[in-house]
Amino acid sequence: MKDRYDTSDLPEAQFEPGSQKQVLKNLLGIRKKAAMDDVEEQALQKATDSFVQTYAQDHRFKSEDVRRMHQLWLADIYPWAGQYRKVNLSKTGFVFSMALHIPELMREFEDTVLTECTPCREKTKGNGRVARLLTTLMALQANLPLLDFRGISGKLKSAYFAAIQAGMKRDYEPMETVIGLVIERTLKRLS
Protein backbone atom coordinates (compact mmCIF):
# COMPACT_ATOMS: atom_id res chain seq x y z
CA MET A 1 0.00 0.00 0.00
CA LYS A 2 1.33 3.43 -0.99
CA ASP A 3 2.00 5.90 1.81
CA ARG A 4 -0.66 8.61 1.55
CA TYR A 5 2.03 11.24 2.18
CA ASP A 6 4.31 9.99 -0.60
CA THR A 7 4.53 12.58 -3.38
CA SER A 8 7.26 10.94 -5.44
CA ASP A 9 4.83 10.30 -8.31
CA LEU A 10 4.07 14.01 -8.77
CA PRO A 11 5.92 15.70 -11.65
CA GLU A 12 7.28 18.45 -9.38
CA ALA A 13 8.93 15.84 -7.12
CA GLN A 14 10.82 14.06 -9.89
CA PHE A 15 14.33 14.70 -11.10
CA GLU A 16 15.60 14.66 -14.65
CA PRO A 17 17.24 11.28 -15.35
CA GLY A 18 21.01 11.67 -15.36
CA SER A 19 20.95 14.91 -13.37
CA GLN A 20 22.14 13.31 -10.11
CA LYS A 21 19.04 14.76 -8.42
CA GLN A 22 20.22 18.29 -9.20
CA VAL A 23 17.60 19.26 -11.81
CA LEU A 24 13.86 18.75 -11.65
CA LYS A 25 12.24 16.81 -14.47
CA ASN A 26 11.58 19.34 -17.18
CA LEU A 27 10.09 19.73 -20.63
CA LEU A 28 13.48 20.55 -22.16
CA GLY A 29 15.39 17.49 -20.93
CA ILE A 30 18.03 19.67 -19.26
CA ARG A 31 20.23 17.71 -16.83
CA LYS A 32 22.87 20.23 -15.77
CA LYS A 33 22.07 22.61 -12.92
CA ALA A 34 24.01 25.53 -14.41
CA ALA A 35 22.19 25.13 -17.74
CA MET A 36 18.82 25.05 -15.97
CA ASP A 37 19.72 28.11 -13.91
CA ASP A 38 20.52 29.97 -17.15
CA VAL A 39 17.29 28.86 -18.86
CA GLU A 40 15.19 29.85 -15.85
CA GLU A 41 16.94 33.24 -15.59
CA GLN A 42 16.42 33.98 -19.30
CA ALA A 43 12.77 32.97 -19.01
CA LEU A 44 12.36 35.22 -15.96
CA GLN A 45 13.84 38.19 -17.81
CA LYS A 46 11.47 37.60 -20.72
CA ALA A 47 8.51 37.22 -18.35
CA THR A 48 9.50 40.38 -16.48
CA ASP A 49 9.49 42.35 -19.72
CA SER A 50 6.01 41.01 -20.44
CA PHE A 51 4.70 41.79 -16.97
CA VAL A 52 6.03 45.34 -17.05
CA GLN A 53 3.85 45.86 -20.13
CA THR A 54 0.87 43.90 -18.74
CA TYR A 55 0.23 45.43 -15.34
CA ALA A 56 -0.88 49.05 -15.17
CA GLN A 57 0.31 51.39 -12.48
CA ASP A 58 -3.09 51.24 -10.80
CA HIS A 59 -3.36 47.42 -10.82
CA ARG A 60 -4.27 45.76 -7.53
CA PHE A 61 -2.37 42.49 -7.48
CA LYS A 62 -4.15 39.30 -6.49
CA SER A 63 -2.95 35.81 -5.69
CA GLU A 64 -4.08 34.76 -9.17
CA ASP A 65 -1.61 37.27 -10.63
CA VAL A 66 1.18 35.54 -8.72
CA ARG A 67 0.10 32.18 -10.13
CA ARG A 68 -0.10 33.68 -13.62
CA MET A 69 3.42 35.11 -13.28
CA HIS A 70 4.74 31.71 -12.24
CA GLN A 71 2.90 30.03 -15.12
CA LEU A 72 4.09 32.46 -17.79
CA TRP A 73 7.64 32.37 -16.49
CA LEU A 74 8.00 28.57 -16.33
CA ALA A 75 5.38 27.20 -18.75
CA ASP A 76 7.96 26.21 -21.37
CA ILE A 77 10.17 24.53 -18.74
CA TYR A 78 7.95 22.64 -16.26
CA PRO A 79 4.52 21.01 -16.70
CA TRP A 80 3.43 22.18 -13.22
CA ALA A 81 4.11 25.88 -13.83
CA GLY A 82 1.44 28.12 -12.33
CA GLN A 83 0.08 25.50 -9.95
CA TYR A 84 0.40 25.59 -6.22
CA ARG A 85 3.09 23.21 -5.13
CA LYS A 86 2.03 19.81 -3.85
CA VAL A 87 5.38 18.78 -2.38
CA ASN A 88 7.15 20.12 0.68
CA LEU A 89 10.48 21.82 0.06
CA SER A 90 13.54 22.92 1.96
CA LYS A 91 16.75 24.57 0.82
CA THR A 92 19.98 24.68 2.79
CA GLY A 93 18.15 24.10 6.06
CA PHE A 94 15.34 26.56 5.33
CA VAL A 95 11.92 24.86 5.31
CA PHE A 96 9.37 26.53 3.03
CA SER A 97 5.67 26.66 3.86
CA MET A 98 4.03 23.25 3.83
CA ALA A 99 2.39 22.55 0.48
CA LEU A 100 -0.93 21.77 2.13
CA HIS A 101 -1.16 25.35 3.46
CA ILE A 102 -0.17 27.26 0.32
CA PRO A 103 -3.69 27.97 -1.05
CA GLU A 104 -4.77 29.30 2.37
CA LEU A 105 -1.56 31.33 2.78
CA MET A 106 -1.96 32.84 -0.68
CA ARG A 107 -5.56 33.87 0.10
CA GLU A 108 -4.33 35.47 3.31
CA PHE A 109 -1.46 37.16 1.43
CA GLU A 110 -3.97 38.59 -1.04
CA ASP A 111 -6.41 39.71 1.66
CA THR A 112 -3.72 41.46 3.69
CA VAL A 113 -0.47 42.42 1.96
CA LEU A 114 -1.63 42.67 -1.65
CA THR A 115 -4.89 44.44 -0.77
CA GLU A 116 -3.12 46.88 1.54
CA CYS A 117 0.02 47.49 -0.54
CA THR A 118 -1.16 47.49 -4.15
CA PRO A 119 -1.41 49.50 -6.13
CA CYS A 120 1.77 50.81 -4.58
CA ARG A 121 1.57 54.57 -4.34
CA GLU A 122 4.48 55.47 -2.16
CA LYS A 123 8.14 54.69 -2.08
CA THR A 124 7.78 52.14 0.67
CA LYS A 125 10.17 49.28 0.92
CA GLY A 126 8.31 46.24 0.12
CA ASN A 127 9.02 39.93 -0.37
CA GLY A 128 12.13 33.47 -4.24
CA ARG A 129 11.94 34.79 -7.69
CA VAL A 130 8.23 35.34 -8.33
CA ALA A 131 8.11 37.29 -5.06
CA ARG A 132 11.02 39.44 -6.27
CA LEU A 133 9.21 39.92 -9.58
CA LEU A 134 6.08 41.03 -7.74
CA THR A 135 8.21 43.37 -5.63
CA THR A 136 9.72 44.82 -8.80
CA LEU A 137 6.28 45.40 -10.31
CA MET A 138 5.14 47.09 -7.10
CA ALA A 139 8.26 49.29 -7.20
CA LEU A 140 7.42 50.30 -10.77
CA GLN A 141 3.95 51.32 -9.54
CA ALA A 142 5.74 53.61 -7.07
CA ASN A 143 7.77 55.11 -9.94
CA LEU A 144 10.96 53.36 -8.89
CA PRO A 145 13.23 51.70 -11.48
CA LEU A 146 13.48 47.95 -12.13
CA LEU A 147 14.97 46.58 -8.95
CA ASP A 148 18.35 44.86 -9.09
CA PHE A 149 18.38 41.83 -6.78
CA ARG A 150 21.81 40.62 -7.90
CA GLY A 151 23.39 42.07 -4.77
CA ILE A 152 21.63 39.62 -2.45
CA SER A 153 24.64 37.58 -1.35
CA GLY A 154 26.75 36.99 1.73
CA LYS A 155 25.33 38.69 4.82
CA LEU A 156 22.43 40.16 2.87
CA LYS A 157 21.45 36.69 1.62
CA SER A 158 21.39 35.44 5.21
CA ALA A 159 19.29 38.45 6.18
CA TYR A 160 16.98 37.74 3.22
CA PHE A 161 16.37 34.14 4.35
CA ALA A 162 15.85 35.32 7.93
CA ALA A 163 13.35 37.89 6.61
CA ILE A 164 11.45 35.15 4.78
CA GLN A 165 11.24 33.16 8.00
CA ALA A 166 10.08 36.23 9.91
CA GLY A 167 7.45 36.87 7.23
CA MET A 168 6.04 33.41 7.80
CA LYS A 169 5.33 34.64 11.34
CA ARG A 170 3.70 37.81 9.95
CA ASP A 171 6.73 39.95 10.90
CA TYR A 172 7.41 41.91 7.70
CA GLU A 173 9.85 44.47 9.08
CA PRO A 174 13.01 42.41 8.30
CA MET A 175 11.86 42.05 4.66
CA GLU A 176 11.18 45.77 4.48
CA THR A 177 14.79 46.33 5.58
CA VAL A 178 16.17 43.95 2.93
CA ILE A 179 14.01 45.44 0.16
CA GLY A 180 15.03 48.90 1.34
CA LEU A 181 18.68 47.96 0.83
CA VAL A 182 17.88 46.58 -2.64
CA ILE A 183 16.13 49.86 -3.52
CA GLU A 184 19.06 51.90 -2.21
CA ARG A 185 21.60 49.83 -4.17
CA THR A 186 19.49 50.04 -7.32
CA LEU A 187 19.14 53.81 -7.07
CA LYS A 188 22.86 54.23 -6.29
CA ARG A 189 23.76 52.08 -9.32
CA LEU A 190 21.59 54.26 -11.55
CA SER A 191 22.89 57.60 -10.27
pLDDT tens for residues 6-56?
A: 677 888 889 999 999 999 999 999 999 999 999 998 998 899 889 989 988
Q: What percentage of the chain reaches a pLDDT higher than 70?
A: 91
Q: Phi/psi of residue 84, each to 5°?
A: -65, 140
Q: What is the mean pLDDT of residues 158-178?
A: 86
Instruction: State the chain's maximal CA–CA distance in angstroms.
Output: 63
Cα torsion 131, 24, 150, 156 to 10°: value is 70
| Domains observed in the chain | 11-190 (1.10.3290.10)
Q: Which of 96, 72, 80, 87 is nearest to 27 (CA)?
A: 80
Angle at 174 between CA 184 and CA 61, to 5 degrees: 75
Please write the tens of the pLDDT for every residue from 121-156: 654 445 366 677 788 888 777 778 888 887 777 788
